[in-house]
Amino acid sequence: MRRATYRGAPPPNGSETATARVHTPGMAGCCDPRGCDGVFGNRFARRVASRYRKRGLGGTEQRIVDFLVARDIMGASVLEIGGGVGELHLELLRRGAARATNLELVAAYDAAANELSSEAGVGDRITRRILDIAATPGQVEPADVVVMHRVVCCYPDFERLLGAAADHARRLLVFSHPPRNAASRLVLAAQNTAFRVSGKTFRTFAHPPGQMLAVLGAYGLSPVYAHQGLVWRVAGLERTSA
Ligand SMILES: C[S@@+](CC[C@H](N)C(=O)[O-])C[C@H]1O[C@@H](n2cnc3c(N)ncnc32)[C@H](O)[C@@H]1O
């Protein structure tokens, strides 16, 4: 198994901040946003945060939290990749996790995320970074638990992203992804056409589920949970070898 080493080097200037501190827009320039900055802006962030305030977690998010809580996250460190406004790691902190790091390609979520974490009283246990773990895996510390919800479908190179994620998961990794069937491919193709027509570089992907699990398996993670939702599939994996 390949393992990335955490070099312990300080992150690039301004790329790491506790939630008490807010990124300036310039900080988003520290990694390639891969078109996400044209799609996931302040409005998207506010909408997700407001829905979470009103209704709490959605069904898929709740499944992810339940999977992890059932496997004991007391005192665990959490690494959420592409965590948006952070409602998943907020819930995990409420349920016993010790601390969380969120990696994002865009800074647009930070204001809403900081508000939510302050309201929950856990802001001092969260670090938000603008960083692409697939591009610079050595700049991220491993965690007990790695979470990726609605993220791998936004990234073209799933092998690199999932490989880096798995390499940073000491115990558990859980991720969601769209199914890869005729219907989902049609929907994604329509979305991508709309993005192309409107001049956006962002694209969505329905990566092959078997190949995604195979990448994680090569890093010592075995599937222990699967939910086959219509729109989102959830896969939970546990480390079975170093
Ligand atoms: C569809 S949004 C989902 C955000 C959040 N997880 C949610 O469900 O509301 C996907 C997010 O993943 C982030 N993302 C994609 N690839 C990433 C990577 N390699 N590292 C960090 N974040 C990434 C994007 O910036 C984007 O905000």
Residue 207 has pLDDT above 80, yes or no: yes
Identify whether 9 is part of a domain: no
pTM equals: 0.90
Give the domain CATH number at 88: 3.40.50.150
Our count of domains for the chain comes to 1
Give me the mean pLDDT over the 46-58 stretch. 97
Residue 5 within any structural domain of the chain: no
For ligand 1, pick from 40, 88, 151 the residue to mutate: most ligand atoms within 8 Å of CB: 151
Domain that holds residue 119: 32-239
**How many whole angstroms separate alpha carbon 87 and alpha carbon 54?**
12
Above 60 in pLDDT, residue 222? Answer: yes
How many angstroms separate the alpha carbon of residue 30 from the centre of ligand 1? 15
Q: Is residue 22 part of a domain?
A: no
Residue 9 Cα, ligand 1 centroid: separation in angstroms?
Answer: 24
Going by alpha carbons, the residue nearest to atom 19 of ligand 1 is: 132
Count CA within 13 A, CB hemisphere, residue 91.
20
Q: Indicate whether 18 belongs to any domain.
A: no
Percent with pLDDT over 90 in the chain: 82
CA 129 to chain centre: 12
CA gyration radius for the chain? 17
For residue 26, being part of any structural domain is answered with: no
* Residue 11 counted as domain residue: no
- Statement: residue 16 has pLDDT above 70: no
pLDDT tens by residue, 100-157? 999 999 999 999 999 999 999 999 999 999 999 999 999 999 999 999 999 999 999 9
- Distance (angstroms) between ligand 1 centre and the Cα of 73 equals 23
Compute the distance from residue 155 Cα to the ligand 1 centre, in Å: 9
Tracing tokens 């989902």 back to the chain, one arrives at 184
Please check the confidence at residue 14 and state whether its pLDDT lies above 50.
no
CB atoms within 10 A of CB 170: 15
The answer to whether 72 and 171 are in contact (CB under 8 A) is no
For ligand 1, is residue 150 a contact (CB within 6 Å)? yes
